[in-house]
């Protein structure tokens, strides 16, 4: 995996846990029943996110309502999901 892809995988976690924050003893990463969860699972399995917590796991939420409720209640600390491309048209610079 290229260093650029490693940064992309770690960026959300780095934003969630600022420098100097104590590592959590256990952390569950949540994702949809789709590709982003596979990316999370591979990142955990290959140790790319090992600095976040000694115990890392990946769980799948079943529908967007479960994700919304989990985030709102605080039971899901980190959740992945897809985001539509900004602009939604060709020629968007990002």
Question: What tens digit of pLDDT does each residue of 25-49 get?
Answer: 888 999 999 888 888 899 899 988 8
CA distances, 49 to each of 7, 39, 87 (Å): 10, 12, 31
Residue 6 lies in a domain: no
Confidence (pLDDT) at 62: 92
Rounded distance, CA 51 to CA 28, Å? 14
Confidence of residue 78 (pLDDT cuts 50, 70, 90): confident
Rounded Cα gap, residues 85 and 77, in angstroms: 24
Residue 19 lies in a domain: no
What's the residue count for the chain? Answer: 94
pLDDT reported for residue 21:
56
Q: How many domains does the chain have?
A: 1
What range defines the domain where residue 30 resides? 24-79
């Amino acid at each position: 995996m290229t260093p650029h892809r490693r940064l992309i995988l770690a960026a959300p976690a780095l934003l969630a846990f600022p420098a100097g924050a104590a590592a959590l003893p256990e952390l569950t990463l949540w994702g949809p029943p789709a590709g982003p969860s596979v990316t999370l699972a591979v990142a955990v399995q290959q140790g790319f996110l090992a600095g976040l917590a000694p115990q890392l796991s990946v769980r799948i939420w079943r529908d967007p309502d479960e994700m919304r409720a989990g985030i709102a209640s605080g039971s899901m600390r980190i959740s992945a999901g897809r985001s539509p491309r900004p602009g939604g048209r060709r020629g968007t610079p990002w």
